[in-house]
Amino acid sequence: MQTSLLSRSLLAGTFAAALFLTGCASKVPLNKDSGAGDNAAVDSSRQVTPVDTAGAGSSAGENMSQAELAARTVYFDFDSYIVKPEFEALLQKNAAFIKADKTRQVKLEGHADLRGTREYNLALGQKRADAVKQALSLLGVPEGQMEAVSFGKEKPMSEDLSEEAQAKNRRVELAYP
């Protein structure tokens, strides 16, 4: 599931041209002060070859009904990483589902609200995903059947900056691939 999944739109011609340019690029110092005819070949291996990912995998919430989504989403308070008691039943149900089949895998996808930097929000989403993983672990789900990952603020439920909308963004979605 790694690079082999990527369909490269490597245009053979472009590729060859890039190799050619790399091969013959010369590094003559350029800034000569006098003497016309100080020819210098410019290093121009500045080709860009486009790549397309197959990138099909949609995120957990995207193809689910509201009801399905509600049954698999844990929401968090502002600046909080504690799983609230109201989500206990949801987690118990999912824990039973995962434990029923040892080959079943669950991905815990953490999300943050839109405020702040992308990378720090990735870490905050991870903290929420780790909290849900911990809760499931206490309900007996084996470590090997879970992976906690984060989407940070890259997949918000709402782009709206109101607090009500932001509350929907601070969440962990349980995804069954």
Partner 1 sequence: MLPFALFRRRFVSALAATFFYAASAQAQSVQFEVSGVGSGQIPIAIAPFAAEEAAPAKISQIILGDLQRSGQFRSIDASGVALNEHSQPDFKLWRGRAADALAAGSVQATANGYELRFALWDTLKGQNLVQDALRVPAGSLRYAAHRAADIIYEKLTGEKGIFATRVAYITKSGGFYKLWIADAADGENAVAALSSREPIISPSFSPQGDEIAYVSFENRKPVVYAHTIATGQRRIIANFKGSNSAPAWAPDGQSLVVSLSRDGGTQLFRVSRSGGAAQKLSSTGINTEAAFSADGQSIYFTSDRGGAPQIYRMGAAGGAASRVTFGSAQALSPALSPDGKWLAYIAREGGGYKLRVMDLASGTSRAITNTTEDERPSFAPNSRLIVYATRQGGTELLMNTTLDGSVKTRLMASRGDIREPSWGR
Q: Which of residues 24-43 bind partner 1 (CB under 8 A)?
A: 30-42
Please tell me whether residue 92 binds partner 1 under the rule CB under 8 A. no
Query: Which range touches partner 1 (CB under 8 A), out of 48-56, 87-95, 96-104, 166-174?
Result: 48-56
# binding residues, partner 1 (CB under 8 A) = 64
Residue 89 CB, nearest approach to partner 1 (Å) = 27
What's the token pair of residue 158?
Answer: 């709402």
What's the token pair of residue 106?
Answer: 């669950």
Please tell me whether residue 154 binds partner 1 under the rule CB under 8 A. yes
What's the token pair of residue 136?
Answer: 């499931």
Query: Which range touches partner 1 (CB under 8 A), out of 5-13, 64-72, 84-92, 163-171?
Result: 5-13
What's the token pair of residue 28?
Answer: 């003559």
Among 87, 155, 158, 168, binds partner 1 (CB under 8 A): 155
Which residues are paired to 150 by β-bridges? 110
Burial class (CB in 10 A: 0-12, 13-18, 19+), 145: middle
Report the distance separating Cα 16 and Cα 10, nearest Å.
10
Residue 169 CB, nearest approach to partner 1 (Å) = 14
